[in-house]
Amino acid sequence: MLKIIGNTVSPYVRKVLVTLTMKGVPFEIDPIVPFFGDDDFAKISPLRRIPVLIDGDVTLNDSSVIAQYLEETYPFPSILPASAAARAKARWFEEYADSRLGDVFIWKGFGAVVVAPAIFGAPRDLEAFARHLETDVVEVMNYLESATPADGFLCGTFGLADIAIGVMFTGMEYARWTPSPERWPKVAAWLGRVNAQPAMVKTRKWSDILAKTAPAEQRAKAKEIGLRVADRTYFTDKPRRGPMTQIGCPS
């Protein structure tokens, strides 16, 4: 069976899990928390990042590469719109989510306020976070507000663009920030529609529960909530950072 290495709390892993859930593809998961990969993990993930997909002889890195592989392997229902122009636009939103929102919402938001203090004992600098909320966060929110339609989804029906951007907001919720409906009404309403999609609801439950679970307890908890947990794990009990780690924390 197809395997996903990586924890449901990661927005990049969750993008893949939403895609698998929408397409009805069964999978096993090795829910390692980022930074908790063992020596062998570097062999399947050169940047020591999650998610990794293993499908028989195929091992893939990067959520966008994996989502595209799933789209081509299991085309129905499609997560991409029909026309070339709309597909290109969806890929742009995915790229914007992975790079810019990854930096602003995950590394400097959720990562700085929740992950670095919990995993690496880094100080929780709430003043820096408050400044971040009024600078970078405003910049990305203003862009998203200008790009979000008043009704429906980003590129027609619910799909890749909505998934990739929608999952990034969950990290900010864990850092106790949600977009103001007065300041960004279109994004707030769109996010409500996105979060109500069945695959988003299902994967969000997994994320919320595992977000409150210690790294060493993830496998047991994942089994308890009904996920199929892979026999082989890449988990190690000592966190270590990968070559591309951006999170601000002591080494």
Per CB under 6 A, residues contacting ligand GSH are 10, 12, 34-35, 48-51, 62-64, 98, 106, 241-242, 244-245
User: Which tokens go with 9?
Assistant: 């709390």
Least distance from C-beta 45 to ligand GSH, angstroms?
8
Least distance from C-beta 187 to ligand GSH, angstroms?
22
If the CB atoms of residues 5 and 144 are measured against ligand GSH, the closer one turns out to be 5
If the CB atoms of residues 53 and 184 are measured against ligand GSH, the closer one turns out to be 53
Least distance from C-beta 80 to ligand GSH, angstroms?
17
Looking up tokens 């008043």 gives 150
Least distance from C-beta 191 to ligand GSH, angstroms?
19
Say how far apart CA 163 and CA 59 lie, in whole Å: 23
Say how far apart CA 146 and CA 116 lie, in whole Å: 32
CA-based nearest residue to 225, from 195, 203, 193:
203
How would you classify the pairing of strands 52-55 and 3-5?
A: antiparallel
Least distance from C-beta 44 to ligand GSH, angstroms?
12
Would you give the DSSP letter of residue 241?
-
DSSP string, 162-194: HHHHHHHHHHHHHTT----TTTSHHHHHHHHHH
